[in-house]
Structures are given as C-alpha cells and as structure tokens.
C-alpha cells in the first residue's frame, strides 16, 4: 500500500476514527488538502467522489455545503446508511469543534444570503467586501474540515458540493490547499437527468423526489456554472479538468491522471480497481448527493453511463443551442 496515505481504515475499507479525539491547539498550523469536485449537478460527481474516497489516504464527505440544513435540520441519511444524528463519525467530528446546533439555521441563512456563484464574476474589490460578511461562516467551515482531517487521519478530503461559490469560500480559507476537479458532463444528458423523476434515498419523508428542472433551466445553469468555474480556476496549477464521458469509459486511467496531478503514484489504484472498469467502493460518510452514494462493494463504472438519447430531439436541439458557447471548448459535438 502506498506510504503517502495516512487514513485509518478497517479490513472492509470503512473509515474509522483516529484515536486522537481531543481538540488540537495546533490546528491553526495544519495544512488540509481538499479536492473540490466542481461542476453542475447530475454530472457524476458522487460516483467519482466515492471512487476517490475509497483510495488509501482519501475520504469523500459528499456535498458538505449542505451539512447545516440536510444534516442538522433535516437529519438526512449519511452514506454509511445511518441518519446524520446517529452516525458516530459525524457526531464525533461535530463534538470536537464544540459546534452549537442552534446556530445551524443561522449558517444556512448566511450561506443563502452570502456570496453566490455569479458573484465570482464581479470585480475583486466587490468580492472582498462580500467575503467580509462571511467570516463567521468561514470560521465554522475551517474547523469542520480540520476536524474531519484530524479524526480520519486522511491526507485528502474530497468534497463534491460542486457549487462554484462553495469552492470560492474554500479557496479563501487559510490552511486549505485546494484542488479544483472540474467535472463536466454532456449538457443534453445532464438536462435529462434533471428532468426525470429520481428518488432521494437519503430523505425519509413523502417529499423524497430529488429536485427537477426543465431542460431550459438546467442548460442555462450548466452554461453559467461551467463558465464561472473555468473562468475562475482554469489558470490555477491546482485545476484539473475531466469529462464524465471519458471517466466512465476509462475510469482507472482517469484516476491515474488525477493522481499524477496530485503528485501521487498510480499504484494507489491497485487496492480498489479490479480492472479498468471494475472498482471496489468503500463505505463513505457522505452528506447529500446522488443515490449512488449508498453503493458499496464491487461495481462496474460503465454500467452507470446514460446517454442523451432519452431526451427528445427537440429538447436536445434547444439545449445544444443554449450551451453552444462551451460545447466546442469542452469537445462535445453540436449535433447529438
């Protein structure tokens, strides 16, 4: 097993908590490596995150942006199968930072009224003024990532929140070494994924259908978010670009390329990949995400692939027209 990883795992590959359970006074000097999967929703980030999180020294925490509401307020199920309030991993992480649960609604309000993805296109001076109002939010985010790093002993934390705005917040937290993994999927396939009815397996209520957008809205947001991500980080040495279609066709090779960008040897894949397309997924403590976050064990990555043919020709043409400015840049054909 590669020596670079330091994550404590069980023989089944499940994440266990480190014995170092006390709040560390030297956290201020701890460098935390975060791989942030950025992109638009329904682009395959949960599957990619779970594969990365199964590597030695990595943990995938899902869409951590939603911890305050979907964790504290709505008690969604963790990827381990237990509810957030019953998951020993999250409860110990939270206890260690002395987080007062009563302020969770306040942090949700700060998040929703704070910096949004479109604001990343504003002048720096304007963004700086907006960020000054996010200090309390950044304080708790920083403690949260530090506690995750401390309890797992993992060198790499994978966050699949996708929002450009959340990535920007992480980029402004001292001691976080941020890697942007820009995941892009064909907008016509994404539009179909947003349009169809999908059960939310993490929410135990009658409202267990995941949010749905019509193809025009999803195409517009796909264009906006991916442009903002590319505009904000593509110049950065820690920026990694990956098309979902390339990933599902050659998952192991795609992970090799990511590891190379992180400065890690490809041998990290040997413990989880059975062949190019087949991988062993370990249990992940994910907050929110696609229902595939509950999958574990041996899976075929290619079997998760869906193409755009499920979206009618008329809608495909409309989505192609809306997203035309980025189709060529991301090497997608105009005619679907």
pLDDT in tens, 64-84: 999 999 999 999 999 999 999
* pTM of the complete model: 0.90
Answer CATH for 30-327 from 2.60.40, 2.20.25, 3.40.50, 3.30.300: 3.40.50
Return the pLDDT at 61: 98
| Nearest residue to 85 (alpha-carbon basis) of 204, 245, 216 | 204
Beta-carbon-side half-sphere exposure of residue 323 (alpha carbons within 13 Å): 36
Q: Tokens 């966050």 belong to which residue?
A: 159
Which range, of 160-164, 192-196, 298-302, averages the lowest pLDDT?
192-196
The proportion of the chain whose per-residue pLDDT surpasses 70, expressed as a percent, equals 85
Q: What are phi and psi of 109, to 5 degrees?
A: -65, -40
Positive/negative CA dihedral, 219, 222, 225, 226? negative
Return the pLDDT at 22: 40
Return the pLDDT at 136: 96
DSSP state string for 283-306:
P---BS--GGGG--EEEESGGG--
C-alpha–C-alpha distance, residues 233 and 79, integer Å: 29
Is the model's pLDDT at 3 over the cut of 50?
Answer: no
Instruction: Give me the helices (H) in 158-312, please.
Output: 164-171, 187-195, 215-233, 244-249, 251-262
pLDDT class of 17 with cuts at 50, 70, 90:
very low
Mean pLDDT of 226-235: 98
Domain layout of the chain by residue ranges: 30-327
- CB-based contact 177:33 (threshold 8 Å): yes
The packing angle between helices 164-171 and 215-233, to 10°, is 20
Q: What rounded mean pLDDT belongs to the chain?
A: 89
How does strand 297-300 pair with strand 32-38? unpaired
Is the model's pLDDT at 303 over the cut of 90?
Answer: no
Is the model's pLDDT at 201 over the cut of 70?
Answer: no
According to DSSP, residue 9 is labeled: B
According to DSSP, residue 86 is labeled: G
pLDDT class of 309 with cuts at 50, 70, 90:
low
Is the model's pLDDT at 150 over the cut of 80?
Answer: yes
Rg of the chain in Å (alpha carbons) = 19
Q: Could you tell me the two tokens for 235?
A: 């110049």
With a CB cutoff of 8 Å and minimum separation 6, the contacts of 36 are: 159, 161, 166, 167, 170, 178, 179, 180, 181
Return the pLDDT at 131: 96
The residue ranking higher by pLDDT, 4 or 135, is 135
DSSP state string for 224-245:
HHHHHHHHHHTTSTTEEEEEHH
Beta-carbon-side half-sphere exposure of residue 18 (alpha carbons within 13 Å): 19
Strand intervals (E) in the chain: 32-38, 58-60, 156-162, 176-184, 239-243, 278-281, 297-300
Q: Quick: pLDDT tens for 239-281.
A: 999 999 999 999 999 999 999 999 999 999 999 999 999 999 9
């Amino acid at each position: 097993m590669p020596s670079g990883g330091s994550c404590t795992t069980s023989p089944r590959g499940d994440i266990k908590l480190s014995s170092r359970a006390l709040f560390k006074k030297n956290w201020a000097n701890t460098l935390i490596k975060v791989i942030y999967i950025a992109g638009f929703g329904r682009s395959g980030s949960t599957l990619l995150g779970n594969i990365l999180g199964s590597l030695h020294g990595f943990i995938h925490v899902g869409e951590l942006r939603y911890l305050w509401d979907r964790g504290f307020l709505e008690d969604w199920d963790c990827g381990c199968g237990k509810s957030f309030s019953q998951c020993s991993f999250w409860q110990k992480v939270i206890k260690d930072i002395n987080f007062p649960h009563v302020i969770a609604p306040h942090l949700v309000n700060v998040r929703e009224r704070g910096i949004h993805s479109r604001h990343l296109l504003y002048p720096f001076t304007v963004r700086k003024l907006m960020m000054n109002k996010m200090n309390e939010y950044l304080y708790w985010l920083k403690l949260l990532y530090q506690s995750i790093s401390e309890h797992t002993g993992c060198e790499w934390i994978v966050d699949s929140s996708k929002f450009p705005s959340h990535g920007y917040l992480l980029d402004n937290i001292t001691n976080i070494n941020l890697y942007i993994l820009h995941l892009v999927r064909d907008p016509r396939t994404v539009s179909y994924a947003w349009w169809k009815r999908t059960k939310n397996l993490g929410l135990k209520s009658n409202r267990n259908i995941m949010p749905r957008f019509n193809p025009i809205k999803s195409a517009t947001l796909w264009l906006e978010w991916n442009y903002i991500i590319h505009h904000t980080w593509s110049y950065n040495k820690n920026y990694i670009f990956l098309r979902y279609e390339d990933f599902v066709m050659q998952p192991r090779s795609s992970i090799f390329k990511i590891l190379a960008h992180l400065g890690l040897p490809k041998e990290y894949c040997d413990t989880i990949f059975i062949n190019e397309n087949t991988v062993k997924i370990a249990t992940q403590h994910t907050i929110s995400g696609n229902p595939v976050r509950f999958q574990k064990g041996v899976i075929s990555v290619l079997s998760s692939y869906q193409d755009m043919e499920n979206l009618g020709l008329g809608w495909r043409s409309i989505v192609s027209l809306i997203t035309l400015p980025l189709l060529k840049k991301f090497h997608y054909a105009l005619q679907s």
